[in-house]
C-alpha cells in the first residue's frame, strides 16, 4: 500500500466484534484474564492499549519502521530515547534545537552525568570533530527549529554507525510524508505528534520509531517503567489526524512556498529561510533527502525587534501562539517563546535573534494569508 492508503488503513482494520470502521477508544485501565497470566494480549493500559497499538502501528508503517511507540508528549519521547544512555555517555546535538530539548538536555540530564555538545550538524566535519570516545548518540533536528538548517542524514548516520553511535532524528517538522530518516540510515526517529501528525492543535503526544529489535525492547521497557503513555482518547485524536496527513502536508507545502516567495520579494523583509527557496543555503540537500519542503517559514523583518513585535501583534489570521503543524496558521517569536529557555548568548551565537519571526503556515486560502502578512508588514 502507498502512503496515503496506509495512513488510513494501517493498524486500523474494522473492529472484529462490532464492524466499526473507526478504531474504538478503549477507555479502560485493565483487562480480564482467562486464567492467571492468560490474557488476550493486554493486561494493563500502562503497558498496552488497543487504541494505542493502532496508533503505534500506523506511525511505524508511515516511517517504514518495524517498531513504533506512542508517548504522552514529544518531550516524553525525547526523554525515553535519552534514557537508553548511561552515566558518562556523551551526545552530539544539533545546535539551535527546540528550547524544550535544550532544557531537558542541559538542565536535567547533565545533572545525571550525561554530556552534551551542541554543534552545527549541517557541517559534517563539525560532527566528527565533536565526537569523543564516550560519544554514544548523535541527535539531529533536520530541519532545525527555528532556523531550518538541514543535516545530511545519510552521511551523518553512516559516520555515526561506523563508530558505534546511535543516530536519532527529530522528524517533527517534515512528518514521514516528506522525510523518512530510517530510509536514510538513522536508527531512531522521534516525533511530537502534537504537530503535523495530529494536525489540529487539539492533542499533545509523541512517538518513537525504530527498526532494531533490542533498541525497541529497551525503549518499551523504559516507557512501561516510567509510565510516559498517552491516554486512549489522545491516541484516537492522533489517529484521526493522520488519516488526512497526506492531504494536509501537500497544502502546507504549497502555501508555505507561496508565503516564503512573497516574503522574499517584500521590501520590508531582510531575509527569509525556507528549504523550498533556491536562496536557502541547503536547497540542493533538501531536494535530495526530502520529497517536499514543509510548512515552516522563518524571516527577519527590516527594522529589528520593533518591527518584529509590530508584525507579531498585527496579524489577524496568523495567530500569535507557540506550537506548529496545525491546520491554522501560527506566528511566533522563538527568542521570547519556544526558545526562551536557551541562554541569550547561545541563541545569538546560533542565529536565533530577538527579531526572528517563525511562521507555521496552515491550510487556509493562501491569498488570505499573504494579504494578512502584507498588511502587517505595511504597518511595521
* 102 in active site: no
Per run of 10 residues, the mean pLDDT along the chain (length 380 residues) is: 96 92 96 92 96 98 98 98 98 94 96 96 95 98 96 98 98 98 98 98 98 98 97 98 98 98 98 98 98 98 96 97 97 91 84 94 98 96
* Catalytic hit among 79, 152, 170, 187: 170
* Catalytic hit among 42, 98, 177, 274: 98
Beta carbons of 345 and 324 less than 8 angstroms apart: no
The whole-number pLDDT of residue 340 equals 85
Bridge-based pairing of strands 319-320 and 330-332 is parallel
CATH topology classification for 245-378: 3.90.1150
DSSP string, 335-354: TTTTTTTS-HHHHHHHT--T
Bridge-based pairing of strands 330-332 and 188-192 is unpaired
DSSP string, 25-44: ----SB---SBTTB-SS-SB
Instruction: Give the CA radius of gyration of the chain.
Output: 21
* Catalytic hit among 52, 149, 180, 195: 195
Domain extents in the chain: 3-242, 245-378
CATH topology classification for 3-242: 3.40.640
* 120 in active site: no
* Catalytic hit among 46, 66, 220, 240: 46
Long-range (24+ apart) CB contacts under 8 A made by 25-30 are 25/51, 25/232, 25/233, 25/236, 26/50, 26/51, 26/232, 27/232, 27/233, 28/232
Q: Do domains 3-242 and 245-378 have the same CATH topology?
A: no
* 46 in active site: yes
The whole-number pLDDT of residue 343 equals 85
Amino acid at each position: 500500500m502507498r502512503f496515503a492508503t496506509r495512513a488510513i488503513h494501517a493498524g486500523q482494520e474494522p473492529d472484529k466484534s462490532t464492524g466499526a470502521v473507526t478504531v474504538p477508544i478503549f477507555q479502560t485501565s485493565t483487562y480480564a484474564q482467562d486464567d492467571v497470566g492468560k490474557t488476550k494480549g493486554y493486561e494493563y493500559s500502562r503497558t498496552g492499549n488497543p487504541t494505542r497499538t493502532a496508533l503505534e502501528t500506523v506511525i511505524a508503517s508511515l516511517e517504514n519502521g518495524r517498531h513504533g511507540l506512542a508517548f504522552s508528549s514529544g518531550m516524553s519521547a525525547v526523554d525515553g530515547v535519552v534514557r537508553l544512555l548511561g552515566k558518562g555517555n556523551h551526545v552530539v546535538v544539533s545546535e539551535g534545537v527546540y528550547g524544550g530539548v535544550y532544557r531537558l538536555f542541559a538542565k536535567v540530564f547533565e545533572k545525571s552525568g550525561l554530556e552534551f555538545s551542541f554543534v552545527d550538524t549541517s557541517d559534517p566535519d563539525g560532527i566528527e570533530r565533536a565526537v569523543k570516545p564516550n560519544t554514544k548518540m548523535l541527535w539531529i533536528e533536520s530541519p532545525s527549529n527555528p532556523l531550518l538548517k538541514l543535516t545530511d542524514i545519510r552521511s551523518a548516520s553512516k559516520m555515526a554507525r561506523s563508530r558505534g553511535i546511535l543516530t536519532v532524528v527529530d522528524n517533527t517538522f517534515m512528518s514521514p510524508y516528506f522525510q523518512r530518516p530510517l530510509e536514510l540510515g538513522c536508527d531512531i526517529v522521534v516525533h511530537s505528534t502534537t504537530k503535523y501528525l495530529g494536525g489540529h492543535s487539539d492533542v499533545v503526544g509523541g512517538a518513537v520509531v525504530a527498526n532494531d529489535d533490542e533498541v525497541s525492547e529497551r525503549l518499551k521497557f523504559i516507557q512501561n517503567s516510567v509510565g510516559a503513555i498517552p491516554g486512549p482518547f489522545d491516541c484516537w485524536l492522533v489517529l484521526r489526524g493522520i488519516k488526512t496527513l497526506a492531504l494536509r502536508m501537500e497544502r502546507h507545502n504549497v502555501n508555505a512556498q507561496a508565503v516564503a516567495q512573497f516574503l522574499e520579494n517584500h521590501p520590508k523583509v531582510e531575509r527569509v529561510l525556507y528549504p523550498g527557496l533556491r536562496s536557502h543555503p541547503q536547497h540542493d540537500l533538501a531536494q535530495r533527502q526530502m520529497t517536499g519542503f514543509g510548512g515552516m517559514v522563518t524571516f527577519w523583518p527590516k527594522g529589528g525587534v520593533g518591527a518584529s513585535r509590530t508584525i507579531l501583534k498585527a496579524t489577524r489570521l496568523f495567530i500569535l501562539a507557540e506550537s506548529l503543524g496545525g491546520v491554522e496558521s501560527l506566528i511566533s517569536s522563538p527568542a521570547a517563546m519556544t526558545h526562551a529557555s536557551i541562554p541569550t548568548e547561545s541563541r545569538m551565537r546560533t542565529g536565533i535573534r530577538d527579531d526572528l519571526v517563525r511562521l507555521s503556515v496552515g491550510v487556509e486560502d493562501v491569498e488570505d494569508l499573504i494579504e494578512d502578512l502584507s498588511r502587517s508588514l505595511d504597518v511595521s
